[in-house]
Chains A and B, each alone.
Chain A
Amino acid sequence: MKHARIAYQGLAQEAIVTEAGIQLNDGRFVNKDEVVWLPPVEPKTIFTLGLNYADHAKELSFSATQKEPLIFFKGPNTLIGHNAQTMRPSDVTFMHYECELAVIIAREANQVSKEAAYDYVKGYTIANDYALRDYLENYYRPNLRVKNRDGCTPIGPWFVDKEDVKDPMNLTLRTYVNGKKTQEGTTADMLLGIPELIEFLSGFMTLHPGDIILTGTPKGSVDTKIGDEVVTEIEGIGRLVNTIVGENTFQTN
């Protein structure tokens, strides 16, 4: 089943997305054009993987043989729903998308073995983890100025129950900029897969229900310009649409 959070007629609420349309909790069906898509979950902690695909690590000229996974956190200010806008500041010369499989945690997870890891998964969604590379600095890299900006992480449109995704470690990811395919890869190429990531993280800290792990992106990250429509797509989950806008849209300066 596909679970969404939407705003409809002045109320933020949960909904189910079906072939027949969007079904609200009270049973009513509404049209997708009538709703505002919100991030499908409200996590306490957002984990993000850097360099978790060997080909992307190479693209960014890093050695793929790191001792430990590169992990950083994001704040709740970063999440924004489907069909929304993300701002590209005027001084930025390189802002790229990152299509990522996002894993949603089902229950409190501490000291979980990789064999048991999927018992702790609720479902999957799509995240687009934009990076504004001009702001990269070599301290706690990637620093928050690059990765923790308001609305810089579109997520959704919904999450899909774990039971409906047969093999999450074998899904095709694709990104389209203005309809042209610019990125294609498969979750089979992750350096650390979902079970390994849950084992690693829960080995030294506790994960909570609703927490999200963004599992990294394969190669094919290209610069996106103001006005570009960026569609990140994952097989069996859906398509997440975002549009890049400039500072004028946000009426700054």
Chain B
Amino acid sequence: MQTVYLKQSGVHPFKEARVDLENDTIVIAGKTYVKKDISYDIPVNGTVYGTLLNYRGAYQKLEKSMYEPPYQAPPKAPILYIKPVNTFASAGSTIALPEGVFELEIGAALGVVIGRTATKVTTSEALSYVEGYTIVNDVSIPHDSVYRPAIKEKARDGFCPIGPWIVACDSINNPNDLQLRVKINGELKQENTTKNLIRSVEELIADVTAFMTLTKGDVLLVGVPENAPLAREDDMVQIEIDKIGTLENQVISEKAFIGGRI
């Protein structure tokens, strides 16, 4: 059983609950529910920061080009980007496929949820600033260049499903040893592990808070593995992370999305 923090749709305060991932059940205020019977809201309210090239495989794919224009040199400090609030979506919501786009990249990311103000934090104390962990689908329109911020590709409405809950920090012994899987329509498309992170969760928190403050409710995505699976219209996308759970969202056409099938 994992301790989780979640937000139910239409209910204001965050709730603490116990989740049984084996049996897909959840205990809220002493009552047991089936996981899918609960309507989950977005479990965070801060700023979501993504990290570029933090999986060894993703880094290696670009490594050859790093000495050539426009990159010129390998990155030194963590390269971050912001997923703004219009991109946030809950578990179970739909992802709109923009008109003229046929595939979306599914970025399976472990989201580190910050529990208290973190400035210039050392690696040894980093995890004491973590409230817990969640699953984030960092959706992008496929793009090759990472020279300029990919706003049009990454910042569209609903391009950042988060949830279904935050698993408390204490329930996860080692965030740097979590297996993650992406399934599309039930078929396994990607498998990787946070063992492959270049900067561990602790190192990432330290290196990021060396130049900027993270506050309670902010989410730091540890990175997206190489070869992000592609999803098409009507595909059901599941991201599973060990000890956290499954984040499920369906890709639908932008027209249907605007039509209210949310």
Instruction: Tell me whether B156 and A204 are in contact (CB under 8 A).
Output: yes
Which A residues between 55 and 72 are near B, CB-CB below 8 angstroms?
A: 68, 70-72
Provide the residues of chain B in CB contact with A77, threshold 8 Å.
Answer: 212-213, 215
Provide the residues of chain A in CB contact with B152, threshold 8 Å.
Answer: 68, 204
Provide the residues of chain B in CB contact with A143, threshold 8 Å.
Answer: 77, 79-80
> Which residue from B79, B84, B157, B215 sits with its C-beta under 8 Å from A140?
B79
Instruction: Tell me whether B212 and A139 are in contact (CB under 8 A).
Output: no
Please tell me which stretch of A2-10, A12-20, A145-153, A189-197 contacts chain B, meaning at least 4 of its Cβ atoms lie within 8 angstroms of it.
A145-153
> Which residue from A141, A207, A208 sits with its C-beta under 8 Å from B147?
A141
In the assembly, what is the distance between CA of A68 and CA of B149, in Å? 12
A150-B119 contact in complex given A45-B84, A140-B149, A208-B86, C-beta closer than 8 Å:
yes
Provide the residues of chain B in CB contact with A70, threshold 8 Å.
Answer: 148-149
Q: Is the interface of A mostly helix, strand, loop or mixed?
A: loop
Instruction: Tell me whether A144 and B75 are in contact (CB under 8 A).
Output: no
Interface centre among A44, A77, A139, A204, by most B CB within 10 Å? A139
Q: Is A94 an interface residue (CB 8 A)?
A: no
Provide the residues of chain A in CB contact with B40, threshold 8 Å.
Answer: none
Instruction: Tell me whether A73 and B146 are in contact (CB under 8 A).
Output: no
A150-B71 contact in complex given A71-B149, A139-B79, C-beta closer than 8 Å:
no
Provide the residues of chain B in CB contact with A141, threshold 8 Å.
Answer: 147-149
Instruction: Tell me whether B79 and A75 are in contact (CB under 8 A).
Output: no
Instruction: Tell me whether B120 and A139 are in contact (CB under 8 A).
Output: no
Instruction: Tell me whether A144 and B146 are in contact (CB under 8 A).
Output: no
Instruction: Tell me whether B71 and A138 are in contact (CB under 8 A).
Output: yes
* B119: min CB distance to chain A, Å: 7
Instruction: Tell me whether A144 and B71 are in contact (CB under 8 A).
Output: no
Provide the residues of chain A in CB contact with B23, threshold 8 Å.
Answer: none
Provide the residues of chain A in CB contact with B82, threshold 8 Å.
Answer: 73-75, 144, 148
Which A residues between 183 and 238 are near B, CB-CB below 8 angstroms?
A: 204-208
Instruction: Tell me whether A76 and B146 are in contact (CB under 8 A).
Output: no
In the assembly, what is the distance between CA of A83 and CA of B59, in Å? 43
Instruction: Tell me whether B77 and A135 are in contact (CB under 8 A).
Output: yes
In the assembly, what is the distance between CA of A73 and CA of B154, in Å? 12
> Which residue from A137, A140, A144, A208 sits with its C-beta under 8 Å from B85?
A208
Provide the residues of chain A in CB contact with B147, threshold 8 Å.
Answer: 138-141
In the assembly, what is the distance between CA of A239 and CA of B72, in Å? 39
Instruction: Tell me whether A205 and B86 are in contact (CB under 8 A).
Output: yes
In the assembly, what is the distance between CA of A114 and CA of B115, in Å? 42
A139-B146 contact in complex given A150-B212, A205-B157, C-beta closer than 8 Å:
yes
Provide the residues of chain A in CB contact with B211, threshold 8 Å.
Answer: 135, 144-145, 148-149
In the assembly, what is the distance between CA of A150 and CA of B215, in Å? 11
Instruction: Tell me whether A206 and B157 are in contact (CB under 8 A).
Output: yes
> Which residue from A44, A68, A71, A144 sits with its C-beta under 8 Å from B212?
A144
* B82: min CB distance to chain A, Å: 4
Determine the residue in chain B with the shortest Cβ distance to A45: B84
* B118: min CB distance to chain A, Å: 11
In the assembly, what is the distance between CA of A205 and CA of B84, in Å? 10
Instruction: Tell me whether A140 and B52 are in contact (CB under 8 A).
Output: yes
Instruction: Tell me whether A137 and B77 are in contact (CB under 8 A).
Output: yes
Instruction: Tell me whether A144 and B84 are in contact (CB under 8 A).
Output: no
In the assembly, what is the distance between CA of A205 and CA of B154, in Å? 10
Q: Is B261 an interface residue (CB 8 A)?
A: no
A75-B151 contact in complex given A44-B85, A135-B77, A137-B79, C-beta closer than 8 Å:
no
**Interface 0/1 of A29-71, CB less than 8 Å to B:** 0000000000000001100000000000000000000001011
Instruction: Tell me whether B151 and A71 are in contact (CB under 8 A).
Output: yes
Determine the residue in chain A with the shortest Cβ distance to B62: A139
10 residue pairs bridging A and B, Cβ less than 8 Å apart: A45-B84, A76-B47, A137-B77, A138-B71, A138-B73, A139-B53, A144-B79, A144-B211, A204-B152, A252-B120
Q: Interface of B with A (CB < 8 Å)?
A: 47, 49, 52-53, 70-73, 75-82, 84-87, 98, 119-120, 146-152, 155-157, 211-213, 215
4 further A-B contacts with Cβ under 8 Å, apart from A75-B49, A138-B70, A208-B85, are A73-B81, A137-B75, A138-B71, A140-B147
